[in-house]
Amino acid sequence: MFTLSLSDIKTGVTYSDKTSVIQALATWLQQDGHVAPGYGDCLLAREAQASTYLGQGVAIPHGIRDGRKLIKHTGIKVMHIPAGVAWGNGHIVYLALGIAADSDTHLGLLQQLARRLQKGGLLEQIMACDNPAAVLALLQAPPEPTVVPQHLPIPIPLTRAHLALQITSSSLAQLVTQAADLLGLEGREKAAFQQSSPLHIGQGWWLCQAEASYPDAAMLTLKTAPDTSQASSVVGLLALQVNGQEHKALLDRLGHWLAAGKGAELAGKASPEEFWAALAQGPESRRTYSEKTLQVYNEHGLHARPSAMLVHTAKSFIADIEVRNLTLDGPWVSAKNLMQIITLGASAGHELVFRANGPDAEQALAALAHSMNENLGESSLAISSESEPTALAASPVLAANISANTRFTGVTASPGLAVGPIFVDLPLEFDYPKQACDAEAELQALSHALTRSRADLAVTETRVTDPYAKELMAMHRELLADTSLTLGVQCRIQRGQSAAAAWWSEIDTLTRQQAANKDALLADRAMDIRDVGHRVMALLCHRQQPQPPSHPYIWVAEEISPSQLVNLDTRQLLGWVSVGGGASSHSAILAAALGIPALVAVDESVLTVPSGTTAILDGATATLCLAPEASLLDQARGWQQQDQQARDKAWEQRHQAATTRDGHLVEVGANVADTREAADVVAVGADGIGLLRTEFAFMARRQLPDVAEQQAMYQTALDALVGRPLVARTLDIGGDKPLLYYPRADEDNPALGVRGIRLCRQQPQWLENQLRALLLAAGKRPLRILLPMVTDIAEWRWAKALFDSIQDEIQAPDVQLGMMVEVPAVALNAEVFAAEVDFFSIGTNDLAQYTLAIDRGNGALAALADGLNPAILKLIKMTVTAAHQQGKWVGLCGELGADPVAVPLLLGLGLDELSVSLKQVALVKSHVRQWRLSDCRALAEQALMATDAAAVRALVMQAKNGVAIAQGEQAGSH
Ligand code: PEP
Ligand code: MG
């Protein structure tokens, strides 16, 4: 444990600004041999990423990760600045702790400081300090005067008054009464507590618990020598007032002592301090633990799947392994218990401390480190965050007799069109007695249901082929093996509840707790808990889920559980619709992987529609149309047929050029996030890679790839393109694309913050390495380099100068340097940029976001965020005009390029290239071939004058019908 001394503290110092304080701290750390020269820059770099202001006048400047190599040994220097110094964001700092840490030894001090900050009043105490001894006393002040030190990881406030050690008691019943007194229970509450039957949990320890309006606990131990050979012996009692889950940590602590066979030893502790320390630290002395701090690299944190993998790894060792979330300063939990791991709330970037105790502790920590560093079996590539259509207003509540063309709107979880009868899968109603008199029989029923459920899951796991589904089933089995869950149920049964009631109470509590998680992805896992809960309930209540029909159908349910979806015969499944669920839920991911159209967040009145009702599920409009009239049905079936024919034809002609009917050629490139996809680019008929989003390769790693690694990556793409051009965009990190190994600044609006070129200006070496790797990889092949998020001409000129200096050295012969047009300011000022760039590529995803002031990830506003808004068309027009006047070419690489309605307008506006996702290339080429450039130009002129996006769309649809008629007439005249 790190300790401060008086010589580490200076009081009464004066500085005019934050930078001077930080540099002075760095110089002091250097003078005392803690760091090498240059550490001040690391402290300032950290400050640029995120302010180190802690609160109440305290800041803790510390270095960036890269700065660790400058640290010789841990040191902290403290400056007390009575006049204060501005720290940004209106904060004034009076106490600055300059930190150089090469290990975690200083964390205790910081945690203590952080806890004091939470309590308030610290600022006044800091202001009152006038010498180093006073500051030292303040920083090392003892914890609160309770018997429970704040840092001990037991959330229930077990105060001195609630510990009664080595007492005498004539019977268990009397002990329970003593516990009730300790807890301050009176009247009916006390009587109820006395009547609850205590449960023997092993080695003479008993548990007595009652539901209460707030959580509380008491522990009592007996003086009498324990007799652990008999179940009726009594050495101690844990009395719990249960409300929520807080009591579980305490139960777990006691469980650790019992699991180690040392229940009597714990009960023998005489003083409250000794008892508490023993309880907190576990049956072995803390000193025998080996510890390791590891970072969570999984993009979506430790949701159920990686958690299951972590538990699996931990369980393969004998050692006792615990883990706590250091970032959230959470409690220790068992690393072998899935439910507890999920409650860590570990998000990407959080640091977890593992501690292991046992013969293979070191191996266990090494294996966990390996597993965590391998993302616990997950890829860290981002799941695409395409915006989802809006969930619109609820539909009217329907009677069983549904009127024709009733429409429900939801959010598309997986696109496509399905037509067929619905199957409404209503949740099973469970009927069960709340109480049971034969606890033994109920325990047996529970055990039987758990065993059966696990066996069923194991069978499914071997049957399914999809690796994701397999993992899901394994994870559900792991949930069933959770001992704290079953212990909770057993306790309830012992207290007289039926197995079904006890099981459901525990599942319900856990589900609610999980659903309340702030992290949406972790909250989605509530569904897995409920799913597992239902499986066991069905067995306990002898109920069977109704079977879906044997003919093709659209599945409608409140929530479609992951295991239901996995068990499905997907050959019959046309689509699915759910009332609950999120677009990122397991089910949505599975549905997308299966290619089944799916809607979520549909109004619950859809469940009142009778099974068998015909429906049209349209992912494009996020609607479910029930009982459609014959004409609508014919139209939908016609669309399905036409859609398929158009796809087939486009695919056959994918290698033909995208030339309009009047001979104008447009290039159609492919958007790619992974250079390994380059092999498919030629196969789908693309004219090259129109956008390589290089940031994804950086995001998938745990550290920046060096020049050689990047060069190899870009070479893979260029090789696969066999002479076609590669448009590679330099790093577009920031906004919704964070780099885990580069903690980002705490920004209120990351989309308006340090992203793309703005970040590269802060990290010039990153851009230099990337440009070098690209130019080295190019050889004589055509390479187009694209700079993201440029807003100001100075940014462009800075990057261009860097590019020129490297290109002077490498001299790749066929390279152009261009920039994205994503910010309205650039389009409005396009002539200035057009004079200097080689080309533009318009990023309509961001251009729409910044022009319309709509967060591109906000599903609720997705319907408003239409890229065909005339304002955006005008910006495109300005960009193209400016570029063409200077003889430069313009591409477009946003999603708009794949919208069939947008294609003629983009042609008419003069785009020279469109770049779309791999799946869309053949279709976009075929759309281009349907139009005449002259018509497109006229159409674009009209669109620029339209009132809104809807009017633009109507205009194109009208023109499209005209084209279709003209084409039909022409075909007829042949
Ligand atoms: C865009 O903004 O349109 C674009 C292509 O870039 P990204 O979607 O990667 O931000
Ligand atoms: Mg963009």
Site of tokens 């069109």: 417
Q: What is the CATH number of domain 406-426+546-646?
A: 3.50.30.10
Q: What is the pLDDT of residue 880?
A: 98
Report how far residue 3's alpha carbon sits from residue 844's, in angstroms, rounded to the nearest whole number: 55
Give 306's pLDDT tier (boundaries 50, 70, 90): confident
Lowest mean pLDDT among 451-460, 847-856, 930-939: 451-460
Give 390's pLDDT tier (boundaries 50, 70, 90): very low
What distance in angstroms lies between residue 848's CA and the mean position of ligand 2's atoms? Answer: 10
Q: Are strands 75-86 and 9-10 parallel, antiparallel or unpaired?
A: parallel
pLDDT digits (tens, 9 = 90+) for 112-124: 665 565 455 677 7
The set of residues, in sequence order, having a beta carbon less than 8 Å from that of 358 and lying 6+ positions away, is 317, 318, 319, 320, 364
| Residue 610 identity | P
Residue 971: is its pLDDT beyond 80? no
Q: What is the pLDDT of residue 144?
A: 43
Q: What is the pLDDT of residue 114?
A: 56
Ligand 1 pocket check for 844: Cβ under 6 Å: yes
What distance in angstroms lies between residue 843's CA and the mean position of ligand 2's atoms? Answer: 5
Q: What is the pLDDT of residue 383?
A: 25
Give 391's pLDDT tier (boundaries 50, 70, 90): very low
Q: Examine the residue annotation and report whether 893 is marked as an active-site residue of this protein.
A: yes
Q: Which ligand has the shortest distance to the CA of 691?
A: 1
Nearest CA to ligand 1 atom 6: 843
pLDDT digits (tens, 9 = 90+) for 754-789: 999 999 999 999 999 999 999 999 999 999 999 999
Q: What is the mean pLDDT of residues 461-474?
A: 71
Residue 916: is its pLDDT beyond 80? yes
Residue 969: is its pLDDT beyond 60? no
| Residue 270 identity | A
What distance in angstroms lies between residue 822's CA and the mean position of ligand 1's atoms? Answer: 8
Q: What is the mean pLDDT of residues 681-691?
A: 96
Q: What is the mean pLDDT of residues 612-616?
A: 93
Residue 593: is its pLDDT beyond 70? no
Q: What is the pLDDT of residue 796?
A: 98
Which residue among 693, 849, 872 is best mutated to probe the pocket of ligand 1, counting the most ligand atoms within 8 A of its Cβ?
Answer: 693
pLDDT digits (tens, 9 = 90+) for 475-528: 788 888 877 788 889 888 888 889 999 999 889 888 887 776 655 556 656 777
Pick the CATH number of 6-139 from 3.40.50.920, 3.40.50.1700, 3.40.930.10, 1.10.10.10: 3.40.930.10
Catalytic residue among 586, 625, 760, 927: 586
- Radius of gyration of the chain measured on its C-alpha atoms: 33
pLDDT digits (tens, 9 = 90+) for 11-22: 989 988 999 999
Report how far residue 769's alpha carbon sits from residue 761's, in angstroms, rounded to the nearest whole number: 13
The better pLDDT of the pair 77, 859 is held by 77
What distance in angstroms lies between residue 737's CA and the mean position of ligand 2's atoms? Answer: 10
Q: What is the pLDDT of residue 970?
A: 55
Q: What is the CATH number of domain 653-970?
A: 3.20.20.60
Average pLDDT score, the chain = 82
Q: What is the pLDDT of residue 115?
A: 56
What distance in angstroms lies between residue 98's CA and the mean position of ligand 2's atoms? Answer: 38
Query: What is the number of the ligand 1 atom nearest to the C-alpha of 671?
Result: 5
Report how far residue 624's alpha carbon sits from residue 113's, in angstroms, rounded to the nearest whole number: 56
Lowest mean pLDDT among 530-534, 597-601, 918-922: 597-601
Which residue among 845, 854, 876, 895 is best mutated to probe the pocket of ligand 1, counting the most ligand atoms within 8 A of its Cβ?
Answer: 845
pTM over 0.85: no
- 675, containing H or E segment: none
Residue 885: is its pLDDT beyond 70? yes
Can 160-281 and 439-540 be said to share one CATH topology? no
Whether domain 290-377 has CATH 3.30.1340.10: yes
Q: What is the pLDDT of residue 838?
A: 98
pLDDT digits (tens, 9 = 90+) for 57-104: 888 888 776 777 888 888 889 999 988 888 876 578 889 988 887 765
Distance of CA 707 to the CA centre of its chain: 30
Would you call 797 helix, strand, or coil by DSSP?
helix
Q: In what order do the strands lie in the sheet with 290-295?
A: 290-295, 351-357, 320-325, 333-334
Would you call 101 helix, strand, or coil by DSSP?
coil
Q: What is the pLDDT of residue 578?
A: 85
Ligand 1 pocket check for 893: Cβ under 6 Å: yes
Nearest CA to ligand 1 atom 3: 843
Give 437's pLDDT tier (boundaries 50, 70, 90): confident
In order of 219, 320, 348, the CA distances from 332 in angstroms are 20, 12, 19
Report how far residue 337's alpha carbon sits from residue 316's, in angstroms, rounded to the nearest whole number: 13
Token pair of 530 as six digits: 């409920």
Residue 380: is its pLDDT beyond 70? no
Would you call 421 helix, strand, or coil by DSSP?
strand
Does residue 544 contact residue 551 with C-beta atoms inside 8 Å?
no
Q: Examine the residue annotation and report whether 541 is marked as an active-site residue of this protein.
A: no
Give 143's pLDDT tier (boundaries 50, 70, 90): very low
Lowest mean pLDDT among 27-36, 201-210, 420-429: 201-210
Lowest mean pLDDT among 240-249, 269-278, 574-583: 240-249
CATH class of 439-540: mainly alpha
Give 295's pLDDT tier (boundaries 50, 70, 90): confident
Q: What is the mean pLDDT of residues 694-722?
A: 89
Q: What is the CATH number of domain 160-281?
A: 3.40.930.10
Residue 689: is its pLDDT beyond 90? yes
Q: What percent of the chain has pLDDT over 70?
A: 82
Provide the 8-state DSSP code for 728.
Answer: E
Q: Taking the domains of the chain in order of start, what are their residue ranges?
A: 6-139, 160-281, 290-377, 406-426+546-646, 439-540, 653-970
Give 142's pLDDT tier (boundaries 50, 70, 90): low
